[in-house]
Amino acid sequence: MSSVTQQNGTWIIQSDCLLVRFDPNTLGFTMQREGGRVWRQVADHAHDLTLQRGEERHPVSLESAARKTTLEYRSGDLHGVRTELRGFAGGGRSLDVALALIVAVDQVSDEVVVRVIPIHDRQGNLGEVRYPRPFELDAVGLGVYHLLPSMQGALLPPDWPGEIGWWWIGLCWTRAIYMPIFGALRPGDAYLGILETPYDGGLHLDHPKGGPTKLGPKWHPSRGSLSYPRQVRYALFGDVDHNALIERYREYSRSVGRLKTLETKATEVPNVRKLEGATVAAGYTLYHTQPDSHYYDKEHPERNHNLRSFADSMAGVERLAKAYPNRNVVFHLDGWGTRGYDNLHPDILPPCPEAGGWEGFKAVAEKCRELGWLFATHDNYIDFYRDAATHSDDLSRRNEKREAYGKAWWAGGAQTFLCEKNALGYVRRNYGEILRRGVPLTATYIDVFAIMELMECYHPDHSMTRKECAEARAACFDWVRSQDIVLSSEEPVDWSVPHIEFCYWAPIPQADDLFGGIPVGIPIPLFNQTYHDCLVTPWNLHGGGAITQQDAYLYALSFGGCPLIGAPGREGGIDPVWIEKARILSDVHRQTGFQPIEKHDLLDSSGTKRLTTFGDGKSVEVDFKTGKFRLNGFRRMKKSWQNVPG
Ligand SMILES: [Zn+2]
């Protein structure tokens, strides 16, 4: 049962175990679960709404609306209040705009739901919205954290000394936000926020060195304005740890169709089975750098062209198969196209003539088939190189000014961006041709389609919202999968989970760059714990920054990763230590790779000791201080504590 009443000007919204107090003047609210403490919002609300007129931007508080009307609101599941806000002053002028806020309890799940609705905005003056305002963590110390969905995820202590910067663009489904969630934990209670309109959603984060942290929803304009209703859900908990929040999000993800398991995927693309206990071995054909690329080496021009022929790759494959027998290897081949890695996309056929052309390429694929390995090509349908045979500004993505924008950064030099709405045509053409020539292509990697932020396009022939962008990328993945090809992309984000089977990696967030600096807060497998049974995540075992090789291995084991190694060529040693590392990790993955991670427990306050429990009860215990790990319940594997090899 729920009730909505007024008391001294405050609206009281109550359900079986929730209490929400909404102030119709400031538009702030508190929320509280029975037995828990009150969650209060930060005092500063000067940036609730950005009003826009032409190039001008004016942040205002929602409190500053000329007229505010609050009434009781009731729908099938919600019971609360609806407030209409009309008329705002921006830049000294009043703007005739209106929006509505619904703050309610969801009687079905006993959670708090907040909706922000643009109801009158003829000129597109309603821009970014940061509402609801961030909830404060009013304590520091043991068990007090924000939950950050950046890359694998982290528990962020409010007084964490570092800064969060380079990857934070605050848009869902980027490195900053692999999954559209956020939350907070403190002794006694916790909440999880879920952005239910994630496509133009995101998070506002402010964490200066030493804190405190402000973390809350941010709604980005869609093609220029707020445009459509946005919604966030808060699940409130009693005394729990992060495991309970992840379990709730997993349940949510299942309800919206994102939780597609590897078992299900294997019924669609049978070769998905070969990802159980997989080792990804990455090789290359040609690294060629154009003179106008950021990476061009003027001092040593000869270094701008580095070839490993298909025959050399094949010799390397044979050597690796001998050194590392009876394994599910995915041979991932970079730079196999006409002029090598990151060149001429999407017109990359025929395969590199200098390396052996169609014949050499096909022979590598056939060798992989003979060994029972998957053969995966590295491909790309975002970068649209100006010297590609079919390059056209008219197929390129256009910005608000309708310009085909670009850069000259990657190896292939000057480029624009292929609009996602034109990508499927190229995907069908290229993969169709490879299959028609009888190349046994069993897997592929479509670069950055998952991790690259969702983009908008303003070309009248193929205009695109962020949601349509995700759908267009998914259509490419799905078409390729329909040809019995196992799909991967670079870093995974959760819109892509139903459309890909594995990724290149899914690292833990580090403060300074991809492999630099200290880990952000206490890293936890927020992403892998949600999706371990849906997606295979190879692991970079090199470490980097403050993450040593030993740490990297323990993270791989306890986050449920599989090994990512370099594929040898015709010559050069194959390091037995790396083979041993890969062997243990892939054996663990062979027995757990399609299982969910049920729990990831921090056995001490700083997370130096951890216990990961998989769906069938097997568990992996790691100790970062001693560099040891222990495998419990695994068949034919050592049961006592052991050192990371090497
Ligand atoms: Zn377009």
pLDDT recorded at residue 167: 82
pLDDT at 516: 80
Distance from the alpha carbon of residue 405 to the mean position of ligand 1, in angstroms: 12
Long-range contacts of the stretch 619-628 (C-beta < 8 A, 24+): 620/557, 620/558, 620/588, 622/554, 622/557, 622/558, 623/554, 624/550, 624/551, 624/554, 627/550, 627/554
Helix axes 549-558, 576-592, angle to 10 degrees: 20
Judge whether 248 and 240 are in contact, CB under 8 Å: no
pLDDT greater than 80 at residue 166? no
Pick the CATH number of 3-255 from 3.40.50.300, 2.60.40.1190, 3.40.190.10, 2.70.98.10: 2.70.98.10
Q: Please give, one letter per residue, the 3-state secondary structure of 572-591.
A: CCCCHHHHHHHHHHHHHHHH
Q: Is 287 left (phi over 0), alpha (psi -120 to 50) or beta?
A: beta
Q: How far is the CA of 239 from the centre of ligand 1 (A)?
A: 48
> How remote is the CA of residue 557 from the centroid of ligand 1, in Å?
42
**pLDDT tens digit sequence for 486-495:** 999 999 999 9
CA distance 216 to 181: 10
Length of the chain: 646
Stretch 9-15: mean pLDDT, rounded?
A: 98
Distance 460 CA to ligand 1 centre (A): 7
Calculate how far, in angstroms, residue 500's C-alpha sits from the geometric centre of ligand 1. Answer: 23
Are 114 and 140 in contact by the 8 Å Cβ rule? The answer is no
Q: What is the dihedral sign for C-alpha 220, 223, 227, 228?
A: negative
pLDDT class for 579, splitting at 50, 70, 90?
very high
Mean pLDDT within 497-524? 92
Q: List, for residues 426-464, the tens digit of each pLDDT value.
A: 999 999 999 999 999 999 999 999 999 999 999 999 999
Distance 464 CA to ligand 1 centre (A): 6
Domain edges within the chain:
3-255
Strands 189-195 and 201-206 come out as: unpaired
Distance 423 CA to ligand 1 centre (A): 10
Residue 165 has a pLDDT of: 77
